[in-house]
Structure 1
Amino acid sequence: PADLARYLGLYAARVMTPRGSTATTGLELMTALRPPTRAEKDEATGEFKRAFNDDALTQLYPVVECEVPDEHPILKDKFARHHLRTPAEMLMEESYDWCRPLTDEECTNPYLVAIDINMSYAAAANGLTVGLNGPTHLTGNPKFDASLPGSWLVDLSHVDLSRIRINGRTVDGDRLPSPFTPTGERPTGPAWYSTPTVAYAVELGFDVAPIEAYVRTQTGRYLDSWYKRLRDAYVETMADMGVTTDLQGEEFLEAMARRKQTDPTMALLETAIKATAKGAIGKLRQRSRGQVPYYEPYPALERVTWRPDIRAAVLANQRTGLHRKLMKTAAAADLYPVAIGTDAIVYPSPGPSPLDVLPTTPEGKPVPGGFRLGVSPGMVKHQGTQTVLWAEQQFEERGGVFNISNLIKTADPTAGEGE
């Protein structure tokens, strides 16, 4: 009982009083930090009246067909019952689920080291400009404007990253996933993308020519205060387990490895805070999950925080931000991942530790723009290590290469051998 009271008490103090599941609480936290209305005094009468906050989600707006899940009522009779919408019909902004075979040279490394980005969705939400009002439909090949959040129908199949130069060095883009699809495959034609994805194509130096778009003209950094609240809760909880922001290198790795034994209750709180961040982003596009008949309205549609466009923007920002780090790492050290699952990245390594594989500058500092070990959101930690032999055994058992990123969760490099 004492541990439970401490756990719930600290969650309530650092995040907020639970409102149900962690996902529901995370969504409620957004609203609590950016309330739709406020009390405003009428100077003429002296009485208080309701006023809307400009930086909040204040009302329901019409939805956009390309942004909604398959069972949304707006899609009724639009497609055949079992039609699978294409990227040109549906906004498919998701996190990475990608892998590739190891090259012969990579197989000479004895280990595969998986690193994991701390609270990647929350970190991607930080500083992100999102739409706060309803959609404006742009037609007739509108010019891309990175300042307008929304969805753009654009053909990015011409973007060739096979031999791209970063910081004066050529990167083998064929060993990296495409930044434009969750599967990492190169686009084959026009598709709907969120603003951060199209902006990344422009950042890489390629021309974009949108066909049409749905954008939001009232914008703001709606999720900033939400991110900061969860960041502070996470960092404070990790510090309770001895993992502080000043730890680096081996000290950080050792503190992370023993944290759950240091304080099991705080380890549970760490999990709850991470689930709060991740689940809340998912709630922005909550699906009916079979609770109501197909194409029938479901309760989530009646809340102002049902905003699939905001979820898409966060996931697009997370995926393109990850790709940016992959490119900087490849340019600095000719180092390429072999698998990525959401925010877990697997690299071939000569040793079992992230310190054996993550590149550094001649001064021993992390490569600018690359992955950096640390406890803060957006930095990385060690997820686990396995051997290349173990991976080959997994591929053989499954009959081919598949995504092993989330199977590498143990720090024991010999685990699984001979099984």
Structure 2
Amino acid sequence: MPSQEELFDAVDALLEGEPRLPSPAERARLREAAGITQARLAAVLKSTPQTVKNWENGRSEPRPPRLQAYLRLLDGWAERYPAPAASEPVLAPVPVPAPVPVPAPAVVPAAVAEAYTGPEGPDAAGAMVVARRPAGKAAGPAAAGDPRFPHGPLAVLDGDGSAYGIDGIVLDCPATTIAQLAEWALRESGLGAARLNRSGKDGDPLVVLTAAAAVRFGLPERLEGPQARRSLRLPDDHPVVKQVTGAKWKLTQRGFGPWARLYRPAKAGERQCVQLAVLSWDALDARSWPGVVQMAPAEIARVLGTYAARVLTPRGSTAVNGLELMTALRPPTRAVKNESTGAWESGCNPGSLGSGPMDPAPPEAPAEHPVAQGWTGGFLDEEAYQWVREVELLTDEECLLPYAVGLDLNTAFLASAARLVVGLSGPDHFHRPRFNKKIPGSWLVDLSHIELDPRLPSPFTPSGRRPEGPAWYQTHTVAYAQELGAAVEPIEAFLRRETGAYLDPWHDRLKSACADTLADLGVTADLDERRFLSAMEHHKDVDPAMAAVLAAIKATVKGGIGKLRERPQGRHYRDGERWPALERPTWRPDIRAAVISKTRVNMHRKLANTARATGRYPLAVLSDCVVYPSPGASPLDFLPHTTSGKPLPGSFRLGTTPGLAKLEGVQEMAWAVDLMERGLNPARHIKGGDAVTDEGE
């Protein structure tokens, strides 16, 4: 029960009210009437043009201290440029950073509770949704973005029947069984999300169950079993599974696990699907969603709601979300008008991967793939760097430097996805082709004759060692060899005739999501290098909820790229058998190889440019992290700059944009040399100062 003091605070907040911004459309009108661009406004408010754009289309709202400054500016413009009388601006309340205490849940009438006792769920006439909000809070822009989904994309359900949604809204859920919960979520809750592409599908409502809610619905608080936790699910004879199927709901092949999808056949073209996530079953991996499970339900809803608004409504692990986002932004089909009949039909959506699976070329597949059985021509090995410089190549001058400083490239894979041309059709086989850097594919070519500085990793292999004889490479790797002045004469190739920048919308949305979330944490693109380093040092403490959103976005990038080459799982798999992931159009190891190849090449180019400018060489590289010897504990002590003091183009630069660098960690140089002598990679351990063992390296 809330205390009297908490209730009085809530009432006082209700009396005081909240800052009220004009509607998003009115904000844009006022700015345009003043003749100010979004970029100029962003500069004044120390934000980004994309953030201002989001404010003006209702995707997000300003937060203090920008909120007060923005409101003051809009009030001034409103006095100078009043709207015509016929179009008074509609005021939209502004969400506050933290919800104030809420009154006790409303009591659900007995008649309504009785309507939820049958196995088929409530009748439409008998169901009721009671929406509550923290004191002083009304429906915000995020919730009112689509009239079909007035309460946003998701809700976090607690054990007392309170469902916490975005913008501080609280719904009363009278369901007492999972089947009733699905009916409520689909028909009465007002949950869901609009499609991200006009040819795509609307987002299904997501209900997240706390441990108390899971127990309330007859689910075990923990899901235990001998297999990996991600594979755990309720047995088919569990009472909840029987109750769900008895109510004519179906489960996907994943069954009732941490992420359970309940569905019925579509009616009149409308999906009937509800997504459930059980927190106490590890639905939110702590590595991707740090600290979220320990948060209060309202704060969990804030985290997931922000992620849903900036990325998409979660549908599984962040890796699953990364893959689902690709499809949501580039649906495989679209409506096409039949010229002969005039009827609208489903047709291929240009620029997509199509609606059916596509087998890779033999060298692009993992060795267990059906097309690789009997193949003896070698395989593509485009992976991220895992390289350590040989200790013998360290100079006395380097060993006497006091520090080893680690740099991490922001979402390096996302940066590589920008304007990346990939194949959209199946591979064609060629012998002795002439190399063309504009054609995506795999090339068999000998790059072992290329002489490079041994203090740098080879750009052609993940280990950084010089290749031995002919090997398969993705187009970007071969193009870089040509850029270095080498003669490239392919022996064989698997190339694709239809190409396109499939990942561009995926890149753009995730890049904006990163920028907006970093801005919420006080890290903006306009900061100079020193202020950027200072802001990054404490950004996770500014708002733990937004820090968790940022971690989830980054995990979505890496996981989505990894899912493009998902391997078979399970003890009973045998080489040559197909596995479920192969039936997805997005099972595309060649696209994954293209992203990683471009990332590794970009890393080597920066390493080489830095070496030419400063004479400094890296100690180790691990994926997107590089460690340098340094005279000081800051990257500014060794990164190259021009005579005007600006970062040297082509080298490592500090900043928020994908592909730019941030400080990963600092250790003593003696620490790094010790690891190198033991055959360990300092880049793996530079972030933390814990004792390092030889295990797991």
The question of whether the paired residues in 2 share the 8 Å contact of 1:155 and 1:191 is answered with yes
Q: CA deviation at 1:416?
A: 6.1
Query: What is the DSSP-based 3-state SS (H/G/I as helix, E as strand, rest coil) of the residue aligned with 1:174?
Result: coil
Structure 1 counterpart SS, 2:651: coil
Partner of 2:263: none
Q: CA deviation at 1:391?
A: 2.0
| Residue 395 of structure 1, CA deviation | 4.5
Report the equivalent of 1:61. 358
- Is 1:346 paired with 2:635? no
For structure 1, the residue ranges without an aligned partner over 5 or more in a row are: 80-87, 162-172
**Cα drift, residue 310 of structure 1:** 0.6
Alignment partner, residue 170 of structure 1:
none
Partner Cα distance (2:610, 2:572) in 1: 46
Q: Is the 8 A contact 2:403 2:668 kept in 1?
A: yes
Kept in 1: contact 2:388–2:676 (CA 8 A) = no
Q: Does 1:379 align with 2:660?
A: yes
**Residues 34-45 of structure 1 aligned to structure 2 (within 5 Å):** 34-45=330-341
CA contact (8 A) 1:11 1:17 kept: yes
| Residue number in structure 2 paired with 1:71 | 368
Aligned to 2:165: none
Contact 1:292–1:298 (Cα < 8 Å) also in 2: no
SS at match of 1:208: coil
Q: Which amino acid aligns with 1:54?
A: P
How does the TM-score come out when normalised to structure 1? 0.90
Q: 2:638 pairs with 343, 357, 380, which one?
A: 357
Unaligned 5+ segments in structure 2 are 1-296, 693-697
Cα distance between partner residues in 1 of 2:544 and 2:661: 21
Deviations along 1:229-279, one digit per CA (max 9) or x if unpaired, are: 000001100110000111121100110011111111111111100000000
Q: 2: distance between equivalents of 1:344 and 1:390?
A: 17
Contact 2:363/2:372 (CA < 8 Å) preserved in 1?
no
CA contact (8 A) 2:675 2:681 kept: no
Distance 1:288 1:359, change over 3 A: same
Please say if residues 532 and 655 of structure 2, whose CA atoms lie closer than 8 Å, have aligned partners that are also in contact. Answer: yes
Give 2:446's match in structure 1, choosing from 123, 141, 155: 155
1:213 aligned residue: 493
2:479 matches 1:199: yes
Indicate which of 111, 114, 125 corresponds to 2:417.
125
CA spacing shift, 1:39–1:292, aligned 2, 3 Å: farther
Distance 2:360 2:597 in 1: 19
In the alignment, is the contact (CA less than 8 A) between 2:320 and 2:560 conserved in 1? yes
In the alignment, does 2:518 pair up with 1:238? yes
Q: CA–CA distance in 1 between the matches of 2:458 and 2:422?
A: 24
User: Percent of pairs identical after alignment?
Assistant: 55
Aligned to 2:540: 260
C-alpha contact (below 8 Å) 2:360/2:590 kept by paired residues: no
The count of residues paired between Structure 1 and Structure 2 equals 391
Output aligned runs, 1:398-413, within 5 Å. Answer: 400-410=678-688
Residues in 1 aligned to 2:403 and 2:462: alpha-carbon distance in whole angstroms: 26
Question: Bigger shift: 59-68 or 69-78?
Answer: 69-78
Change (3 A) 1:74 1:45: closer
Partner amino acid, structure 2, of 1:285? R
SS at match of 1:23: helix
Q: Identify which range, 128-137 or 50-59, moves more after superposition.
A: 50-59
Residue 49 of structure 1 aligns with an amino acid whose one-letter code is E
Q: Which amino acid aligns with 1:28?
A: E
Q: Deviations over 1:40-86 (max 9, x none)?
A: 2234433211121220101323321111112212334557xxxxxxx
> d(CA) in 2 for partners of 1:416 and 1:313?
36
Structure 1 residues 395 and 316 mapped into 2: Cα distance closer, same or farther (>3 Å)?
closer
Partner of 2:608: 327
Instruction: Give the superposition deviation at 1:394.
Output: 3.4
Confirm or deny that 1:311 pairs with 2:592.
yes
Q: What per-residue deviation string (whole Å, max 9, x for no partner) do you get for residues 274-308 of structure 1?
A: 00000010111110133541222100011111111
- Pick closer, same or farther for the CA change 1:271–1:292 going to 2, 3 Å: farther
Which of the two has higher C-alpha Rg? 2
Residue 103 (1) aligns with residue 395 (2): yes
Secondary structure in 2 matching 1:153 = strand
Residue by residue over 1:163-201, the C-alpha shift from the partner in whole angstroms, topping out at 9 and shown as x without a partner, is xxxxxxxxxx22100000000111110000000000111
Give the RMSD, CA atoms, in angstroms: 1.6
Alignment of 1:185 with 2:465, yes or no, is yes
- AA at the equivalent of 2:639: L
CA 1:291–1:242 in 2, change beyond 3 Å: closer, same or farther?
A: farther
Match of 1:168 in 2: none
- In the aligned structure 2, how far is the partner of 1:121 from the partner of 1:176? 21
- Contact kept? 2:359, 2:371, Cα under 8 Å: no
Aligned to 1:300: 581
- 8 Å Cα contact 1:95-1:315 kept in structure 2: yes
Counterparts of 2:361 and 2:347 in 1: how far apart (Å)? 27
Task: Describe the superposition over 1:3-52 as per-residue Cα deviations: whole angstroms up to 9, x where unpaired.
Answer: 10000000100000111110111101111111111002234433211121
Between 1 and 2, higher relative CO (CA 8 Å, sep ≥ 6) is seen in 1
Contact 2:399 2:673 in 1 (8 A): no
Q: Which amino acid aligns with 1:27?
A: L
CA spacing shift, 1:371–1:33, aligned 2, 3 Å? same
Q: By how many angstroms is 1:369 displaced?
A: 0.6
Contact 1:122 1:227 in 2 (8 A): yes
SS at match of 1:193: strand
**Correspondence for 1:144:** 435
Find the counterpart in structure 1 of residue 318 from structure 2: 22
* 1:67-108 Cα distance to aligned partner (Å, 9 max, x none): 1112212334557xxxxxxxx601000010001123222112
1:153/1:190 contact within 8 Å kept: yes
Where does residue 344 of structure 2 map in the other structure?
Answer: 48
Q: Per the alignment, do residues 77 and 369 of structure 1 end up closer, same or farther by CA in structure 2, a change over 3 Å counting?
A: closer
Q: Is the 8 A contact 1:96 1:341 kept in 2?
A: yes
